[in-house]
Amino acid sequence: MDVQLNDKLVIESISKGYKGNPAVLKDISFTVRDGEFLSLLGPSGCGKTTLLRILIGLLPADSGKISKDGRDITALPPDKRGMGIVFQNYALFENMTVRQNVEYALKLHKLPKAEVRERSEHMLEAVGLADQSRKYPRALSGGQQQRVAIARTLALNPDVVLFDEPMSALDVATRLSMRTELKQLQAKFGTTMLYVTHDQEEAFALSDRIMILDRGEISQLDTPERIASEPANEYVRSFVLDNLQAKVDSLARFIRRGGGAS
């Protein structure tokens, strides 16, 4: 694989299997560019969450290599990889306030107390939750809880953040708002983001590039524009483009009515 100077991650020949499913991931190779938003798109069971967990170090690969900034991190534990992860269920501590949740990981890294407070306050301000810092997670909406999870991850200054379907439990209006906020945070901090989703619309709205997975293999990795104009195969055309078109068609008659058409 040719490595470019702006490659943040280089993934080479990653494979993973389990008893009863020996080919969850099949010789996966790709690069992630510094500062890009890359979505991993595919249906349930295609291997995207398994791949995410291997990248962060929560799961070992059966074979293959992961490099970050030219350094082999394949065998490093999660806290030595300079990466963060935001889970689907937020994983907040219910017995801690918003601020305490954000401070938790910072304290584990034994940072000075003043720095812990400064970083937590800065991140809560960045995600628009400075006025909610003394509340407990149960008092927050789903979107606010997701912002806390993102603030907690970004407080550790990771240069790569992984998202495991973080918006699947949110209502439509909150998801749309969170998309905008996530892109604004990426622009502000220059963070490289890998985003797992099964939602075609979400991937196209957020991504610089999209990696489409099918049964443990990469079907296509390209920009949304190129995927739309040049689908690599029938699977990409069916799973991505046909599904997007179906969503457009299902709403078209309401849009026409709203515009005054008979």
Q: pLDDT tens across 159-213, in order? A: 999 999 988 878 888 888 888 989 998 988 899 999 999 999 999 999 999 999 9
Q: pTM of the prediction?
A: 0.88
Average pLDDT over the chain, rounded to an integer: 91
Q: If you search the block for the tokens 């301000």, which residue do you land on? A: 125
- Within a 10 A sphere around the Cβ of 222, how many other Cβ atoms? 17
User: pLDDT tier at 261 (50, 70, 90 boundaries)?
Assistant: very low
- The model's pLDDT over 59-68, given as tens digits with 9 standing for 90+, comes to 999 999 999 9
Judge contact between 125 and 185, C-beta under 8 A: no
pLDDT at 40: 97
Mean pLDDT of 216-236: 96
Comparing 223 with 169, which gets the higher pLDDT?
223
* pLDDT reading at 217 higher than 70: yes
Mean pLDDT of 47-58: 96
Look at residues 172, 119, 102 and name the one whose alpha carbon lies nearest to residue 143: 172
pLDDT at 136: 97
Residue 94's φ and ψ, nearest 5 degrees, are: -70, -25
pLDDT at 259: 55
Mean pLDDT of 206-231: 96
- The model's pLDDT over 99-158, given as tens digits with 9 standing for 90+, comes to 999 999 899 888 899 999 999 999 999 999 999 999 999 999 999 999 999 999 999 999
pLDDT at 52: 96
pLDDT at 103: 95
pLDDT at 108: 86
pLDDT at 249: 80
Mean pLDDT of 15-39: 95
Q: Tell me what percent of the residues of the chain surpass a pLDDT of 70.
A: 95
Query: DSSP assignment of the chain, as one string?
Result: -PPPTTEEEEEEEEEEEETTEEEEEEEEEEEEETT-EEEEE--TTSSHHHHHHHHHTSS--SEEEEEETTEE-TT--GGGTTEEEE-TT----TTS-HHHHHHHHHHHTT--HHHHHHHHHHHHHHTT-GGGTTS-GGGS-HHHHHHHHHHHHHTT--SEEEEESTTTTS-HHHHHHHHHHHHHHHHHHT-EEEEEES-HHHHHHH-SEEEEEETTEEEEEE-HHHHHHS-SSHHHIIIIIIHHHHHHHHHHHHHHHHTT--
pLDDT at 262: 42
User: pLDDT tier at 247 (50, 70, 90 boundaries)?
Assistant: confident
